[in-house]
Structure 1
């Protein structure tokens, strides 16, 4: 369960500053010790059913334009790779960076790790930190939320794995060769913000097509094979109609050894295999619709998921409600909103009163995943329902579509979202945003 890799990174300095150093996240190092693993204490038994298992990344060498250069592993839990350039990278110049590394996967039912049936390979390679108005973003792998923030890139990957494994991955498989022991894949992914894979010896693969997009469903047992594929097809069709066309050729829905409900990556969503085993269909459908909605909010329109997690999660949670509204009608959407969304928030605040900080908080400000999900997901969806009621259906939808079209392949902010919704509203939205987000809107 080790990955040996060589990465070639071509980075053009399109910033406003000359650069002396370049920073990349090396997330696997946070899995090295039990005390730094990105989970709450109560989650550890589910994540590590066989006891704690370490994971890490080893950097073997770094070169820029073929020349060895100085690098240092820094940051909380050694999750940042700082590359000191031999000469400054001026505005408009390009650096060709080569990194050789290995990754040890933990025996863990999480984003990065392997369980009984799947090998989950995500957040696994040195990924460029975002340089924005605050400088380089060097946040660690927090245990709450999805602590990721990344730019778009073009990925070309060649991958050799034991031939008895099947693969689900970001991007499109261009070709494949098989020899005595291994299968080698060539994969290309155009304009995505991450690259993830799931491997298994036990996948059953079903395929459907909607709007010229191939929907792949990777299941592990006999349960809900047809249903999972249909939920994926319906999600793509509904979100295409509501928000704008999904711009990639495929999406893969992948049953995994995963202790949570699901997790989103470009062109690929991880779904806990446990959801397929539940007799009721609703949990599986809800999680698949939610994770596919993330293809729009996070995948195509990005944001800083550390300091503004509400922006993708609340939009995604509300998009899931809209999926059920489109597919089953207003009454089903209202039931889910009242009995699930509002109920979770109200149940949480009955135990832990809302301190009034608003839904715009960074991951650092949350004390637990329960608080995070209750405020960011549930209260966030409640805010968007209030916003929709204030604006009216037509203006709300037009604002969302413009947000998608204007910030496609970019990173957006809360202010960007506010300005577009305000521009589409006949009513002033400033008081609503200030009340729910607890911010001052200028």
Structure 2
């Protein structure tokens, strides 16, 4: 996610000194053929089948889901845990925003959002369950019998979601309805056990397994849908449209709807790129940035493995947010006179498709893994598209300048990059350390390894961990393998990471 007002101000300042000439110009046209899905088989991933209807009168969702879960660990499990992220929006004092952000998050005053669990079944029999955790953001389902390694279980959940009037990830505003982090999603069980972090107000507190989704969604006919996955069928009735959407090897499922969308479509490397703008404002421009990003990142990292990606203008005050096959871009970026902030955020969020979307990590415990690499990938975008001199200007004026300003204000602060979200006191600290200092570390890593080995490392990291979850240890081992020099001191200096 691109972070907050301070970072956007830094981006705008760069406009004053950078003159950009477009070097790429892929045609904007609708793909005329069915695109083959580059499907990589991942065994035993969670399988979601969801039916949902949006009720406009109450701004709510009525839904049921069946999750087929496989125990991929070597432990026997007695419970299955789900995150209930909508409950983070239940009360004003616990809403997942910093206090200084509340007026922008709730421009009409606080409006609650929540999820109500109506029924839980295991294999069609009533299951014992309990809502637990801070603000009841966790659902614990107690299994009728222990789930042994490689065992499977089917969990059925009937639920309702109340969407808040909020400019955050989940909520609605004047133009869009943002249906994100809205359904009960299975927690990750790894070497640390169940990961049950709360919805922190700083950063992106998400961590999930690559999964399979089959979603049937009903919306009033006036709404246009932007979604994760591929629309397989669309059934139009007099007042409602029903969509069947399928997505494979994705970590989440999001839908954005609006009556005001203008849709432009293009194709890059046989991938359909869609731009959903509000009333057509800068829709073509956002599309071009998306096309450019796909081609550049395909070349640098490895091929984007899905059929489509959507760039969606939303009521979203933060700036940008990544989801599988879809990036949310705050509509205020389209309304600026300068184009550079929009390009920066689009490129950043599309880079997240590779780092966290395809190569996953625990964003609550090791957020640097996706954010630092994504921020540096944004620099690589500008370098590939406009030249090394532009990359250096962006690096100096956005990345390095923010970190140095932060250090001037907080001289004795802890600057190790490898830290969890709970260790950061503010978004300014988080952005300065994880994004800026993190990108500075990646730049130093590049200089230490050399150009050829660094780019080999990026491709190897991507190819080795597609649709898997990684750790700092995985990152270190991958890049050390491609390096001719010892990287251990570099990782110790910047991350306070010691290889075991």
Using structure 2 for the length normalisation, give the TM-score: 0.88
Q: Does 1:248 align with 2:293?
A: no
User: Residue 230 of structure 2 corresponds to which residue in structure 1?
Assistant: 172
Question: Pairwise mapping of residues 406-417 of structure 1 onto structure 2 (< 5 A)?
Answer: 406-417=464-475
Question: CA separation in 2, counterparts of 1:274 and 1:136?
Answer: 38
Q: Which runs of 4+ in 1 moved over 3 A?
A: none
Q: Is the 8 A contact 2:263 2:280 kept in 1?
A: no
User: Residue 326 of structure 2 corresponds to which residue in structure 1?
Assistant: 268
Q: Does 1:215 align with 2:242?
A: no
User: Residue 205 of structure 2 corresponds to which residue in structure 1?
Assistant: 147
Higher relative contact order (CA 8 A, sep 6+): 2
User: Residue 361 of structure 1 corresponds to which residue in structure 2?
Assistant: 419
Deviations 1:269-314 (A, max 9, x none): 0000000011111000000000000000000000000110000000
Deviations 1:99-150 (A, max 9, x none): 0000000000010000000000111000000001110000100000000000
User: Aligned match of 2:399 in 332, 337, 341?
Assistant: 341
Question: CA separation in 2, counterparts of 1:439 and 1:248?
Answer: 34
1:142 alignment partner, SS class: coil
Count of aligned pairs: 442
User: Aligned match of 1:396 in 454, 469, 476?
Assistant: 454
1:97 alignment partner, SS class: strand
Q: Is the 8 A contact 1:269 1:292 kept in 2?
A: yes
User: Following TM superposition, by how much is the alpha carbon of 1:354 offset from its aligned partner in structure 2, in angstroms?
Assistant: 5.2
Question: CA separation in 2, counterparts of 1:165 and 1:149?
Answer: 30
Q: Does 1:132 align with 2:190?
A: yes
Deviations 1:31-60 (A, max 9, x none): 000011000111000010000000000000
Q: Is the 8 A contact 1:160 1:182 kept in 2?
A: yes
User: Following TM superposition, by how much is the alpha carbon of 1:222 offset from its aligned partner in structure 2, in angstroms?
Assistant: 3.7
1:308 alignment partner, SS class: coil
User: Following TM superposition, by how much is the alpha carbon of 1:260 offset from its aligned partner in structure 2, in angstroms?
Assistant: 0.8
Question: Pairwise mapping of residues 319-330 of structure 1 onto structure 2 (< 5 A)?
Answer: 319-330=377-388
Q: Is the alpha carbon distance of 1:169 and 1:354 closer, same or farther for their aligned partners in structure 2, counting shifts above 3 Å? A: farther
User: Following TM superposition, by how much is the alpha carbon of 1:223 offset from its aligned partner in structure 2, in angstroms?
Assistant: 2.5
Question: CA separation in 2, counterparts of 1:422 and 1:317?
Answer: 21
User: Residue 58 of structure 1 corresponds to which residue in structure 2?
Assistant: 116
Gaps of 5+ in 1: none
User: Following TM superposition, by how much is the alpha carbon of 1:357 offset from its aligned partner in structure 2, in angstroms?
Assistant: 4.3
Q: Is the 8 A contact 2:415 2:433 kept in 1?
A: no
Deviations 1:407-435 (A, max 9, x none): 00000000100011111111110000000
Question: CA separation in 1, counterparts of 2:188 and 2:154?
Answer: 17
Q: Is the 8 A contact 2:407 2:413 kept in 1?
A: no
User: Residue 47 of structure 1 corresponds to which residue in structure 2?
Assistant: 105
User: Aligned match of 1:68 in 100, 120, 126?
Assistant: 126
User: Following TM superposition, by how much is the alpha carbon of 1:235 offset from its aligned partner in structure 2, in angstroms?
Assistant: 0.2
1:252 alignment partner, SS class: strand
Question: CA separation in 2, counterparts of 1:19 and 1:42?
Answer: 41
User: Residue 379 of structure 1 corresponds to which residue in structure 2?
Assistant: 437
User: Aligned match of 2:338 in 273, 277, 280?
Assistant: 280
User: Following TM superposition, by how much is the alpha carbon of 1:353 offset from its aligned partner in structure 2, in angstroms?
Assistant: 2.2
Q: Does 1:83 align with 2:152?
A: no
Q: Does 1:30 align with 2:88?
A: yes
Question: Pairwise mapping of residues 9-28 of structure 1 onto structure 2 (< 5 A)?
Answer: 9-28=67-86
1:35 alignment partner, SS class: helix
User: Following TM superposition, by how much is the alpha carbon of 1:178 offset from its aligned partner in structure 2, in angstroms?
Assistant: 1.1
Question: CA separation in 2, counterparts of 1:424 and 1:239?
Answer: 20
Using structure 1 for the length normalisation, give the TM-score: 0.99
User: Following TM superposition, by how much is the alpha carbon of 1:12 offset from its aligned partner in structure 2, in angstroms?
Assistant: 1.2
Q: Is the 8 A contact 2:261 2:280 kept in 1?
A: no
Root-mean-square deviation (CA), in Å? 0.7
1:199 alignment partner, SS class: strand
Question: CA separation in 2, counterparts of 1:398 and 1:100?
Answer: 47
Q: Is the 8 A contact 1:357 1:438 kept in 2?
A: no
User: Residue 162 of structure 1 corresponds to which residue in structure 2?
Assistant: 220
User: Residue 204 of structure 1 corresponds to which residue in structure 2?
Assistant: 262
Q: Does 1:107 align with 2:165?
A: yes
Question: CA separation in 1, counterparts of 2:498 and 2:70?
Answer: 36
User: Aligned match of 1:187 in 245, 257, 266?
Assistant: 245
